[in-house]
Amino acid sequence: MLLRPTKLLFAGIAGSALVVSAGLLNHVRLHRLVASTEVKLPSLKATADECFQGYENAWRRKELELTGKPARGLPVDKASEWLERCPEYNQAETLIEQARADDRRSQIWTQRIAIAVLVGLSAPWLWYFFLRRIVELRGAILGKPPGSL
């Protein structure tokens, strides 16, 4: 028969194991998300390139109409406008970076929570362990044998 503090210690170990296993499952989920997004990356890039070509051609036509001279290319100050019109360009990289950042954050918090659960539920066991040592020390000081306490 186990004492209550020992049961709490075992519950803390089990709780920490559950937290770590949940963290590992989240880690696997986020890795799969990154992999599936990386697979979609070429198609998103192709869509963004088509969007860019369409925007650049429209800009060149407009520039030709306004100035009468053919434009050489898209000026730098128009790049932000293009990114607003073609959000697919940064969408894939943003998703991948968010998933990787979530994975790093998840690993850190999983470890912290597992340690907190273990320490929190092992505190009663440590308390009673040290109380028993104090009782043994008191008995030794008073000259009583350990079995008589």
8 Å CB contact between 13 and 119 = no
Distance between CA 33 and CA 102 in Å, rounded?
11
Measure the CA–CA gap between 149 and 140, rounded to whole angstroms: 10
Q: Is residue 27 over pLDDT 60?
A: yes
Q: Residue type at 42?
A: P
Residue 83 pLDDT > 70: no
- Grouping H, G, I as helix, E, B as strand and the rest as coil, residue 3 is coil
Tens-digit pLDDT profile for residues 114-123: 888 888 888 8
Say how many domains are in the chain.
Answer: 1
Q: What is the pLDDT of residues 37-73, one digit of tens each?
A: 777 777 777 777 777 677 667 767 777 677 766 666 6
Q: What angle do CA 85, 82, 66 make, to 5 degrees?
A: 110
Domain of 40, in residue numbers? 4-148
- Does the structure show a pLDDT above 80 at 125? yes
**Token pair listed for 63:** 């520039």
Global pTM? 0.57
**Percentage helix, strand, coil, to 5, in the chain?**
90, 0, 10
pLDDT higher than threshold 60 for residue 22: yes
pLDDT band at 134 (very low <50, low <70, confident <90, very high): very high
Residue 128 has a pLDDT of 87
